[in-house]
Structure 1
């Protein structure tokens, strides 16, 4: 194998290793195994408890799955607090996917506008955080950075190439 092929091979491996640490979006099924439902099947505050401790970031998808008569409306804080029956709701089916914008940051609110479902607790408020440059989205306390690994990979690749050339 020629020296150029060896160098190209190690460069490709180094680039793939860097990409392997890249951040990926997460899909969350809202409500877990219970899905998007209304009391009396759930307790008041159920969706607050479900969202607690989750690190929602831009690009993540919230998947609302339900049986029966429900919908999802993306609302502002006032509409969330008062359970305002807004006209902009998901239509049809028993599932709705909402992908958070890539630059999302702050609070996002969702309610069911069917009957008194929202008033009975079928509503969700989440906090979306922008990851710091050293963190990948959805990390749970550990940081991962492909850029931070690059100097180590370059040094390792250079050493191996140097050994093979001698």
Structure 2
């Protein structure tokens, strides 16, 4: 009886390996230890430099943390470039979590609309990649799923007789 435990464990591991575990979402604190702010000593490119080298993906969360009077607005490219004072700011006290949709892909722009904060560099542009390739609604099952199903059938036909002994 104890001999059947190892093959069942192997089956579970094999299935998970074939299906692939979903990538864990990442939480990014915008601006790192400085947070979301616009003090005079930060250059206009501070948030661009902070975002460089980071890979933002659908399902990740952007955490805006600040002290004092600030806000966050998710804006268009034109509003970002011109620091347009939009009225649709995202609500938050001194912190705001902005979860990127699971299917997010493309450019996202954020600004602070308080006073001249945006003009002083309190603005962020990021490129978000889709965590998995998108499939059309009419696409067939992925080869990974078919391979996992085949492996499940193959392994279960080998393991079940062993468990019965």
TM-score if structure 1 supplies the norm length? 0.74
Cα gap change, 1:101 to 1:70, in 2 (>3 Å) = same
The number of residues matched between the two structures is 155
Partner of 2:83: 83
1:14 matched to 2:14? The reply is: yes
Deviation (angstroms), 1:150:
10
Partner of 2:139: none
What are the within-5 Å matches in structure 2 for residues 7-46 of structure 1? 7-16=7-16, 21-46=21-46
Is the Cα contact below 8 Å between 1:14 and 1:157 reproduced in 2? no
Cα gap change, 1:157 to 1:34, in 2 (>3 Å) = farther
Could you tell me which runs of 5 or more consecutive residues in structure 2 were left unpaired when the two chains were aligned: 134-143
Cα gap change, 1:72 to 1:150, in 2 (>3 Å) = same
Partner of 1:66: 66
Partner of 2:48: 48
TM-score if structure 2 supplies the norm length? 0.74
CA RMSD of aligned residues (A): 3.6
What are the within-5 Å matches in structure 2 for residues 81-160 of structure 1? 81-131=81-131, 133=133
Q: Per-residue CA shift, 1:30-61, capped at 9, x if unaligned? A: 00110000031412200000011111111111
Structure 1 stretches of 4+ with a deviation exceeding 2 A read 2-10, 12-22, 130-133, 145-152, 154-161
